[in-house]
């Protein structure tokens, strides 16, 4: 049997298998107020398994951090009950839930930020999108953060982490991937600063370090993960030397002894489809630089996931799209059962249909 179905200690937790739910923004909060909906609790509860790890979709830490109408956030008390219900649904199955915390940075629009200009490390032309009540629209022009503003954003990460703690989650994951604010600081295509947060990679990871330290101050390192996407394309992001940059990131994070490093393979295109024929490269080159637990993500099927864990390149594998339509994915993979195809039209926004109504095999067998 593959090691994919064997126990693994991840930070503070002993997991029973290594099939992880990848964070997926599904735009199903209740408006106004971004209230987590009962169908979200159903969705996560269905995908939880005994001592399995689910990672909650990107949760914006403040109003200016938001990018997409309907996306998850956690910055006001009216959201507490909804988030508690989600943590409870995962725990009812014996699962563990880490909440992914995000600041969208320049990937936003004034309608989503509360009327203020989106912020970024530097002003660099950007043709990306945000989602408002008018649908996908070009991102608003952004402005460069003043150095004196940075502690305030780090503090928002800390407060959001505290909210996740108080709501009963098991940990937090910093969204350092996919061209959002943390990634905008890391990569030199978007970070043109000349102060302590820009220039050499040691400076470009300063924002990442401070955000990680803020999360650790609440949770302890063994309940904090970080997600990165070396050579990812989403968000118009780029770096002149991704391998050097992200090897440094991995080394820096290794020093914190965090629960895990979560790596999206560059074979995933910006629109979450696959560059055909590309292998697992980022996890492989990062592995020597990170001695802790490594989660690989991006374009995995059963065979690929088993191979990457059995070879030792990764310790766990996160699945996005397949998990969206197979709530009992770990069970199906282990028993080599057929997978239900995912429904892309229902990914971003909608109701329960093709979201929380996919049956588990056991449900089908008992019908
Ligand atoms: C609908 C959808 C929403 C996503 N939202 C997020 C997100 O909130 N945070 C994140 O880090 N990645 C997000 N991703 C990326 C996934 O976590 C994952 O890395 C990607 O789908 C590739 O994995 P897969 O081939 O198993 O689907 C999203 C992907 C999809 C399809």
Distance CA 360, CA 353 (A): 15
CA 367/CA 363 separation, integer angstroms: 6
pLDDT tens, per residue, the chain with 367 residues: 999 999 999 999 999 999 999 999 999 999 999 999 999 999 999 999 999 999 999 999 999 999 999 999 999 999 999 999 999 999 999 999 999 999 999 999 999 999 999 999 999 999 999 999 999 999 999 999 999 999 999 999 999 999 999 999 999 999 999 999 999 999 999 999 999 999 999 999 999 999 999 999 999 999 999 999 999 989 999 999 999 999 999 999 999 999 999 999 998 877 778 887 678 999 999 999 999 999 999 999 999 999 999 999 999 999 999 999 999 999 999 999 999 999 999 999 999 999 999 999 976 655 4
Burial category of 74 from C-beta neighbours within 10 Å (exposed 0-12, middle 13-18, buried 19 and up): buried
300 lines ligand 1 (CB under 6 A): yes
Identify which of 252, 235, 219 has the alpha carbon closest to the alpha carbon of residue 13: 219
Does the global pTM surpass 0.85? yes
Ligand 1: does its nearest atom lie under 6 Å from the Cβ of 355?
no
Is residue 82 within 8 A of residue 96, CB to CB? The reply is: no
Helix (H), strand (E) at residue 101:
strand 96-102
> Which residue puts its alpha carbon closest to atom 25 of ligand 1?
299
Query: For residue 101, how many other CB atoms are within 10 A of its CB?
Result: 29
Look at the alpha carbons of 306, 273, 172, 82 in this order and tell me if their dihedral is positive or negative: negative
Cα distance between residue 144 and residue 227, in whole Å: 24
**Residue 123, Cα to own-chain centre: how many angstroms?**
25
Q: Quickly list DSSP for 258-300.
A: -SEEEEE-TTB-TTS-B-TT----HHHHHGGG--S-EEEESS-
Cα separation, 292 vs 258, in Å, equals: 7
Enumerate long-range contacts of 302-307, CB under 8 Å, 24 or more apart: 302/333, 302/336, 304/280, 305/4, 305/19, 305/333, 306/2, 306/3, 306/4
- Known catalytic residues are 180
104 CB near ligand 1 (under 6 Å): no
Nearest CA to ligand 1 atom 13: 24
Could you give the domains of the chain?
3-366 (3.20.20.70)
Q: Is the CB of 264 under 6 A from ligand 1?
A: yes
């Amino acid at each position: 049997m593959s090691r994919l179905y064997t126990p693994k200690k991840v930070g503070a937790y002993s997991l029973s298998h290594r099939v992880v739910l990848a964070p997926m923004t599904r735009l199903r909060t209740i408006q106004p107020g971004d209230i987590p909906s009962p169908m979200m609790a159903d969705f996560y509860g269905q995908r939880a398994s005994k001592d399995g790890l689910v990672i909650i979709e990107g949760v914006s830490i403040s109003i200016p951090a938001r990018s997409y109408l309907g996306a998850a956030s956690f910055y006001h008390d009216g959201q507490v009950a909804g988030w508690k219900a989600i943590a409870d649904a995962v725990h009812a199955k014996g699962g563990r839930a880490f909440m992914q915390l995000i600041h969208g940075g320049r990937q936003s629009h004034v309608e989503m930020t509360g009327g203020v200009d989106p912020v970024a490390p530097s002003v660099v032309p950007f043709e990306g999108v945000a989602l408002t009540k008018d649908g996908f629209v070009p991102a608003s022009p952004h402005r460069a953060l003043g150095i004196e503003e940075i502690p305030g954003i780090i503090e928002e990460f800390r407060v959001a982490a505290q909210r996740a703690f108080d709501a009963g989650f098991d940990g937090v994951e910093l969204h350092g991937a996919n061209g959002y604010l943390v990634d905008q600081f890391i990569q030199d295509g978007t970070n043109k600063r000349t102060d302590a947060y820009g220039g050499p990679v040691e400076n470009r990871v300063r924002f990442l370090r401070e955000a990680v330290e803020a999360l650790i101050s609440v949770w302890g390192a063994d309940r904090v993960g970080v997600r990165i996407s070396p050579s990812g394309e989403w968000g118009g992001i780029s770096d002149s030397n991704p391998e050097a940059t992200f090897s440094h990131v991995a080394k820096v994070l290794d020093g914190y002894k965090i629960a895990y490093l979560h790596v999206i393979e560059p074979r995933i295109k910006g629109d979450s489809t696959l560059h055909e024929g590309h292998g697992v490269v980022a996890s492989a080159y990062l592995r020597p630089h990170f001695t802790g637990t490594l989660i690989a993500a991006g374009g995995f099927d059963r065979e690929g996931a088993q191979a990457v864990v059995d070879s030792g390149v990764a310790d766990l594998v996160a699945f996005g799209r397949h998990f969206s339509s197979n709530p009992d994915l770990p069970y199906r993979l282990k028993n080599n059962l057929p997978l239900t195809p995912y429904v892309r039209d229902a990914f971003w926004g909608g109701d329960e249909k093709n979201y929380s109504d996919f049956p588990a095999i056991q449900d089908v067998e008992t019908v």
